């Protein structure tokens, strides 16, 4: 567990931007970990976990796939989560006295993948409530501006929760949670402050679980777009039971252990930074 004395530098400007926009860019913070994470992703691809999903239909070009909750079996993932500055950075961005690891998520768009990632925000998918949270999306390849994930600045402050969408474009069933259908962002892009950047391996996009985002297809015939996400929660995180479809990740083994509103004091969600 990292102590407060070893928290890496993070500017007040970046923290203010994260608070205000729900998204900020951290340049080069994970560069030393890129090769290890690439190795982990290739292991993940060869040996997928039970939650691996392919979003590219048979006969379509490229390959868009995702997987999550593999950190306890892929050594490179676990080393990054426990030894990189991610936990300390997460705690500072969340303005939390602790950083608890929630899960990792890998999304890869191989060359020629024509599927966009639909507009959505993440917290309605998750079995967690609380305002202190952050995801790091870490590119493992050069990401041109035209394939970078795109974020609507300030959308985490809208006070609205949207029905989750599968990455095939279909909506989840969530009739009892009061979630709304997400607006047609693409049809009215000029109404929103949409942020995106060219990125290098080891940069990170740090964003709130409620920040609305999506991503273009990867139409390039040569470049890969491998992204590794590490998701963190802070002091106010509690277990959430959602109605309708199962959460993503589902964490089936925890539904008999945790009740709605419980703190996340289970081994699956370790506290990896504390302001001691």
Q: What mean pLDDT comes out for the span 44-73?
A: 92
Is residue 77 within 8 A of residue 40, CB to CB? The reply is yes
pLDDT at 98: 98
Concatenated DSSP letters of 46-60:
HS--TT-EE-SPTT-
For the chain, the first-to-last Cα distance in angstroms comes to 10
Q: The tokens 């203010």 sit on which residue?
A: 16
In the prediction, which pLDDT does 1 show?
55
Answer whether residue 4 is part of any domain: no
Residue 165 lies in a domain: yes
Given the structure tokens 């080069």, which residue do they identify? Answer: 28
In angstroms, rounded to a whole number, what is the distance separating the alpha carbons of residues 206 and 223?
Answer: 23
Q: Residue 174 has what pLDDT? A: 55
Percent of the chain exceeding pLDDT 70 equals 93
8 Å CB contact between 250 and 86: no
Taking residues 213-241, what's their average pLDDT?
A: 94
Strand partners, 135: 207, 231
Closest CA to 108 of 48, 153, 164, 33: 48
Read off the pLDDT of residues 151-204 as tens digits, 9 standing for 90 and up. 999 999 999 999 888 776 556 665 557 789 999 999 999 999 999 999 999 999
Q: Which distant-in-sequence residues (6+ apart) come within 8 Å of 60 by Cβ?
A: 114, 115
Token pair recorded at residue 3:
């102590």
Which two three-digit tokens encode residue 82?
């426990």
The per-residue pLDDT for range 78-89, each reduced to its tens digit, is 999 999 999 999
Structural domain containing residue 21: 13-274
- 163 within a domain of the structure (yes/no): yes
- Examine residue 1 and state whether it is found in any structural domain, yes or no: no
- Averaged pLDDT score across all residues of the chain: 92
**Residue, of 131 and 221, whose pLDDT is higher:** 131
Query: What CATH number is attached to the domain comprising 46?
Result: 2.60.120.620
For residue 3, being part of any structural domain is answered with: no
pLDDT of residue 3: 44
> How many CB atoms neighbour CB 25 within 10 A?
18
Please tell me which residue, 59 or 72, carries the higher pLDDT value: 72
Report the number of distinct structural domains present in the chain: 1
186 lies in some domain? yes
- Looking at the chain, the whole-number percentage of residues with pLDDT higher than 90 is 77
Per residue in 27-49, pLDDT (tens digit) is 999 999 999 999 999 999 999 99
User: Does pLDDT of 60 surpass 90?
Assistant: no
Residue 245, pLDDT > 80, answer no
Say whether pLDDT at 228 is over 70. Answer: yes
Residue 6 lies in a domain: no
The b/e string for 158-180 (b: 16+ C-beta within 10 A; e otherwise) is eeebbbbbebeeebbebeeeebe
Residue 95 has pLDDT above 70, yes or no: yes
Establish if 109 belongs to a structural domain: yes
d(CA 85, CA 77): 13
CB-count burial class (<10 Å; 0-12, 13-18, 19+) for 108: buried
According to the model, what pLDDT value does residue 15 have?
Answer: 96
Question: pLDDT of 97-151, one tens digit each?
Answer: 999 999 999 999 999 998 889 999 999 999 999 999 999 999 999 999 988 999 9
């Amino acid at each position: 567990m990292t102590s407060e004395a070893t928290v890496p530098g993070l500017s007040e400007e970046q923290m203010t931007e994260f608070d205000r926009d729900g998204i900020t860019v951290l340049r080069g913070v994970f560069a030393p970990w890129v090769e290890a994470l690439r190795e982990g992703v290739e292991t993940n691809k060869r040996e997928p976990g039970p939650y691996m999903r392919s979003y590219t239909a048979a006969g379509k070009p490229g390959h868009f796939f995702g997987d999550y909750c593999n950190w306890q079996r892929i050594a490179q993932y676990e080393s990054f989560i426990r030894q990189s500055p991610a936990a300390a950075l997460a705690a500072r961005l969340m303005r939390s006295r602790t950083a608890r690891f929630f899960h990792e998520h890998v999304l890869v768009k191989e060359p020629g993948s024509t599927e966009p990632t639909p507009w959505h925000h993440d917290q309605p998918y998750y079995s967690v409530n609380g305002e202190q949270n952050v995801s790091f999306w870490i590119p493992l390849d050069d990401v041109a501006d035209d394939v970078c994930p795109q974020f609507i600045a300030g959308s985490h402050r809208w006070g609205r929760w949207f029905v989750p969408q599968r990455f095939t474009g279909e909506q989840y069933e969530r009739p009892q949670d009061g979630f709304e259908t997400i607006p047609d962002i693409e049809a009215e892009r000029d109404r929103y402050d949409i942020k995106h950047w060219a990125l290098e391996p080891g940069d990170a996009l740090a964003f709130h679980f409620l920040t609305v985002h999506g991503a273009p297809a990867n139409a390039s015939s040569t470049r890969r777009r491998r992204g590794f996400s590490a998701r963190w929660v802070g002091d106010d995180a509690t277990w959430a039971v959602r109605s309708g479809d199962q959460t993503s990740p589902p964490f089936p083994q925890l539904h008999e252990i945790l009740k709605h509103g419980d703190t996340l004091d289970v081994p699956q969600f370790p506290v990896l930074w504390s302001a001691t």
